[in-house]
Amino acid sequence: MSSVIPYTVEKRPDTGLNNVKIGIWLFLASEVMLFGALFGGYILLRVGSTEWPHGSDFGLSVPLAFVNTLVLISSSVTMVMAWASLMRKDTRKYKIYMFLTVLGGVGFMVIKSIEYSAKFSHHYYPETHNFLALYFTLTGLHALHVVAGMVVNAYLLWPGFKMWETNPQQFTNRVESAGLFWHFVDLVWIFLFPVLYLL
């Protein structure tokens, strides 16, 4: 039995897509459902309560989250620019943009850890209030996704880059798939920011 996965580069005749792209989009569809369940939990708890606190009641900092939003949006742009650089076969620019993308992830996590430490120093924990339970669950799960994306992007920047020498098309597809995941992480934050900090 062959261990080679078919259609990783060439397109399947029936779908017109390679399996990598179908796989990552199916995975993202499952991620939509995962976060959808948590957003459903947020709605359930919010509409079911007679009083619902504002994020500022627990010291959630809008300026800090605003900066984090800009960081994540910027890293999404650098990610897509990394892919565009590979399409132009400009590996020097690819490495610069990919490095900036990883750096954006690090920046996001540093700001998030500052925010978490501020909550813990005020003894705000998930058990303190339903709002905080949702805040820690949603942002914690999102942060795990950021870390996962950073690991994949760092791999594609350093050890995984050697595939460019042997199979540049497959490597470009890998970067595109990693980018789709990274943009999804950005997309989730776009909804988390207003829901938790502003509304």
Partner 1 sequence: MSHEDIDHHVRIYMRVFAALVVLTIVTVGVSYLHLAPGPALALGLTIALIKGSLVACYFMHLISEKKMLLWVMAISLVFFFFELLIPMVTEGNNLHMGA
Token pair for 49: 């309560």
Report the nearest approach of partner 1 to the CB of residue 42 (Å): 9
Q: Which is nearer to partner 1, 45 or 148 (CB)?
A: 45
- State how far the Cα of 113 lies from the Cα of 140, in Å rounded to an integer: 10
Q: Which is nearer to partner 1, 136 or 197 (CB)?
A: 197
Which residue has tokens 């820690």?
Answer: 136
Q: Which is nearer to partner 1, 77 or 106 (CB)?
A: 77
Q: Which is nearer to partner 1, 24 or 143 (CB)?
A: 24
- From residue 198, give the alpha-carbon distance in Å to each of 40, 56, 195: 18, 8, 6
Name the DSSP class of 197. I
Nearest Cα neighbor of 153 from 83, 84, 87 is 83
Token pair for 117: 């430490």
SS3 126: coil
Binding mask 137-176 toward partner 1 (x if CB under 8 A, else -) reads: ----------------------------------------
Instruction: Yes or no: say if 119 and 127 are a contact pair by the CB < 8 Å rule.
Output: no
Kindly tell me which residue out of 10, 25, 57, 120 binds partner 1, with binding defined by CB under 8 A. Answer: 25
Report the nearest approach of partner 1 to the CB of residue 22 (Å): 8
- State how far the Cα of 170 lies from the Cα of 156, in Å rounded to an integer: 12
Residues 31-60 that bind partner 1 (CB under 8 A): 32-33, 36-37, 39-41, 43-44, 46-52
- Residues in contact with partner 1 by the rule CB under 8 A: 15-17, 21-22, 25-26, 28-30, 32-33, 36-37, 39-41, 43-44, 46-52, 62, 66, 69-70, 73-74, 76-77, 79-81, 84, 87-88, 179-180, 183-184, 186-187, 190-191, 193-195, 197-199
